Structure 1
């Protein structure tokens, strides 16, 4: 565990900078907490990483590290995995907090309670450290798993690019750190401080993203529409996708077209499409859909190919289920009745 092949001064500097930056991130998270448990989990994660990196530095550069601090460092290690997993889970899926989540922290609690009694030879070298490394690697894989599930389902489009890069860097960077600790002790492939050194660019990238968009860790108000972290430009792009879909596939001609079908076609969450229609386009979904139907009907009412079609049949062919809903929508859009519109605009 004490082996390291890099320059000692360089190792000390890089690992120390990483620990310091992680401490800054922890303090920033807690000051932005505002009773939001997600940022409390983020604080726990960063402070545990800070303690773990500091323990690694002292382990290498002190001839004799205090046993109590070694145990606290390992307890912090046990804390980091569950804290990140729960943060990622609630950041991505907006689940409500459950007190059952506290059981994830039980191993760390046991280590903290017994920080004066766990010895190196009789506990850590006898399987304790192996269990700890495996425990953390499992949590890293779980965090990567929920990130992949979230991405493959298309939900990542709900987040801004910055927010999505933030959670990717957080999970991947931590997974790399945990694997390199595992690789050093279990596989003997990497230097002991390689993990803290490789983690350095990740922690600085996270700091850059947080500086670029502090709202990443701002608490949300609780509703799904308020939780949307997209910029105006990104919402405008979704509005454009909606327009392209309507023009290219003419989904409005389907009398059973629903918001759910449109969301499925766009591979976007239903509430995001609803939010875009209501707030970006400024219409209710029925008005949005009927607007396209009325425009199609207006074209057919004056086109020679539909001279022998009744107004009712044109309305039904364009997606309306009843004549009453058609007449209301048509007059709301055009300010006149279908019959008057046809007489006024029909070419001879």
Structure 2
């Protein structure tokens, strides 16, 4: 019964996701994935409840379904983190799934209902053309799961690097939702490999509930400004980054940072700074990498740390707390300030204050 309830929840979640006001491609993929998982759970209920005896024509047609979960995971993360290179290229990931159904069609279609039921008991029907049909699919499912889990982890790592290239404060951008999503697939695949059918099916039900609760309300994977930042146009957008151009942008950057102290804005992003300099974000990122050997995140936070070191020494700031001064420098949280300060100076902020007799 729990499988049928899980299937109903999955379909309901799919409807809720499609009911969101601002939908993106990732939402449609998640909704399709949830609906697909509902179909999968319906099939599990079909077998567990013995319904297959009444409707034996459906036996075996669920076998390729697990081949779709890996592509759904990868396509969802790809779209959510905006790393896709083509609009519909992710659909190609489902080719093995459709080939699996073609494989099933050729072998199951000729079987009688009695042969299909007998097959569930582990018997090999003489009409079955390929004796390696289901072992072959099992191997394909395991390989697909491993490959797409690994590929999803690569996407996650790449996205984390991209975040540091675009944002100066990343505390509100969390990748935990995607990590949990990958972990859920790992758990399901592990039970499947170990041959624990019941645990596999129960973990699918749990995964659906998790998918619904967090999938609808997930935030912070990527800022709403990111899409705008990647389309900012400037005078260097189509030019080659030569040494002269890089040095010119770098000089303008230094001047702006010194005179306007833009790093004090806790919401500062690569796109905002690029817009101020009238250059493309991609070129500015290149300049920071070549001229400063730093990511945007490290560059801005180094300025904030240096500003803190200057302000904390001023007599008029002795009555202010360390954290309040840090906030004035552009940090938006205690953890971010402590982490970046120690990374740059090798000591904690409180140790720095004591070391310079500023407490």
TM-score (ref. length: structure 1): 0.51
Which residue of 75, 80, 85 maps to 1:91?
80
Give distance in 2, aligned partners of 1:118 and 1:33.
44
2:47 alignment partner in structure 1:
59
Query: Quick check: 1:79–1:105 contact (8 Å CA) kept in 2?
Result: yes
In the TM superposition, residue 82 of structure 1 has moved relative to its aligned partner by: 0.8
The answer on 1:23 being equivalent to 2:11 is yes
Q: Deviations along 1:226-260, whole A, 9 cap, x unmatched? A: 9xxxxxxxxxxxxxxxxxxxxxxxxxxx968559x
Aligned to 2:127: none
Question: Does the CA-based 8 Å contact 2:18-2:31 persist in structure 1?
Answer: yes
**DSSP 3-state at the match of 2:84:** coil
The equivalent residue for 1:77 is 66
Match of residue 196 from structure 1 = 201
**If you compute each CA radius of gyration, which structure gives the higher value, 1 or 2?**
1
The Cα shift of 1:31 comes to: 3.7
Q: Show CA shifts across 1:167-211 (max 9, x none).
A: 222222123222322221xxxxxx312123234444334433355
Q: Which of residues 168, 179, 185 in structure 1 aligns to 2:190?
A: 179
Cα contact 2:172–2:220 (8 A) shared by 1: no
Output aligned runs, 1:206-217, within 5 Å.
206-210=211-215, 212=217
Could you tell me how far 1:87 is from its partner in structure 2? Answer: 1.4
Partner of 2:178: 167
Three-state SS of the structure 2 residue aligned to 1:95 is: coil
Q: Do the aligned residues in 2 keep the contact of 1:181 with 1:195 (CA within 8 Å)?
A: yes
Distance 1:157 1:43 in 2: 29
Q: Structure 1's 61 and 220: CA in aligned 2 closer, same or farther, altered over 3 A? A: farther
1:37 aligns to 2:33 (yes or no): no
* TM-aligned CA deviation for residue 141 of structure 1: 2.5
1:32-59 Cα shifts (integer Å, max 9, x gaps):
4877432222222222222222223333
User: 1:66-145, aligned counterparts within 5 Å?
Assistant: 69-113=58-102, 116-119=105-108, 121=124, 122-145=131-154
CA contact (8 A) 1:45 1:83 kept: yes
Q: Is contact 2:25-2:79 (8 Å) kept? A: no
Cα separation, partners in 2 of 1:33 and 1:84, compared to 1, 3 Å: farther
Deviations 1:293-322 (A, max 9, x none): xxx9xx9xxxxxxxxxxxxxxxxxxxxxxx
For residue 143 of structure 1, report the CA deviation from its aligned partner.
1.5
8 Å contact 1:39–1:217 — kept in the other structure? no
Deviations 1:236-292 (A, max 9, x none): xxxxxxxxxxxxxxxxxx968559x99xxxxxxxx96235669xxxx9479xx9xx9
Distance (Å, rounded) in 2 between the aligned partners of 1:112 and 1:213: 33
